[in-house]
Amino acid sequence: MTLASQARKYEPRAIPTNVGEAQVKTSAMIASLAAEGYDTVSAPFGHALIDAAQNDDRIIGLTADLSKYTDMHVFAKAMPERFYQMGMAEQLLFSAASGMAKEGFLPFAATYAVFASRRAYDFIAMAIAEQNLPVKITCALPGLTSGYGPSHQAFEDLAIFRGLPNMVLIDPCDAVDVAGMVPEMIAHPGPVYARLLRGRVPSVLTRHKPDYRFQLGKAQLIRNGADVLVISSGIMTMRALDAAEQLARDAVDVAVLHVPTIKPLDEATILAEAARGRLCVVAENHTENGGLGEAVAKALMLAGVRPEFRMIALPDEFLEAGALPTLHDMYGISTAGVARQIKGWL
């Protein structure tokens, strides 16, 4: 954080509702993704894991003192004999998961994204990825989904794990993605790192595309449009879809390509959509360095596809603390922020 941002850390924030309207203040910490208008599903990860475990005795759950905050408590209550509480020791969590995988189990190890990517990286690299073991790493508070400052904001987790051989990366948009990714993670023979949306998770994708289902390694066009193509992952697909509806009222036609798997990247679909002559915008809840935006840019350059290209992402800096709606608007990843930036580029 800069000196200026530290000075602002405890100041009340004011964010705009709509242009021309009075500003409203938000409280210090609001754990909400502001998914207004969408139905929500309670603990989709925990319930999907239970469903899978009922048909597969190999599945076990582990966490590092965060079962309640990763939805693993749902699994623990249903199957206590297959749940392991490792305490506040993430290196132990992933080392134990590695050992259990070697014994034939399918461990789902859950913690916060910052603790997996920063605190336990070397253990994941050597004990799991290097040996290509089927440990499934599910991590809450990805990107800017916590208002508790840099200690809990995993704004660089995808960049950290994207360079790790054998590791698959998933960034789900909503409850449909979260529930759908579990059986696909199980079917994949190697390690997987999945960002996790916890608690009451909005159901977004099937509202816009009723036949949508998560497919590992596949990008899917959720909305078509002639003027702009937004290539997005995670919660930014929700924001892109909402922004597209707003922009449609100004006669701006926005397509949204959802990319839930960051690695392996569905380059074929991305290239086909990007080659159609529209402004191409990558939107991600991650630092501008090393994530989906750079992966897409690399694919476009190597294939010789040259659309007008822009990125909506978090800045290359430690982020501030505060209420999520305030922070999302501040860093340009709110619905209004996405719509405003796209309109400015046209």
For residue 4, what pLDDT is reported? 56
- Residue 255 CB neighbours (<10 A): 21
What distances in angstroms separate CA 183 from CA 142, 147, 180, 334, one per listed residue? Answer: 21, 31, 6, 31
For residue 144, what pLDDT is reported? 97
- Among 11, 36, 81, 90, the one annotated catalytic: 90
In tens, the pLDDT along 281-308 reads: 999 999 999 999 999 999 999 999 999 9
In tens, the pLDDT along 188-199 reads: 999 999 999 988
Residues 173, 205 contacting (CB under 8 angstroms): yes
**Known catalytic residue at 90:** yes
Whole-angstrom distance, CA of residue 129 vs CA of residue 190: 8
Q: Which domains does the chain have, with CATH numbers?
A: 18-37+205-345 (3.40.50.920), 40-202 (3.40.50.970)
In this structure, what DSSP letter does residue 192 have?
A: E
The reported pTM is 0.91
Look-up of token digits 């991305």: 270
For residue 15, what pLDDT is reported? 41
Whole-angstrom distance, CA of residue 138 vs CA of residue 141: 10
DSSP 217-276: T--EEEE--SSEEEEE-THHHHHHHHHHHHHHTTT--EEEEE--EEES--HHHHHHHHTT
User: Which among 199, 193, 94 has a CA at the least distance from the CA of 138?
Assistant: 193
Please identify every stretch of the chain with a pLDDT value under 50, giving residue numbers as ranges.
1-2, 6, 9-10, 12-32
For residue 37, what pLDDT is reported? 82
For residue 270, what pLDDT is reported? 98
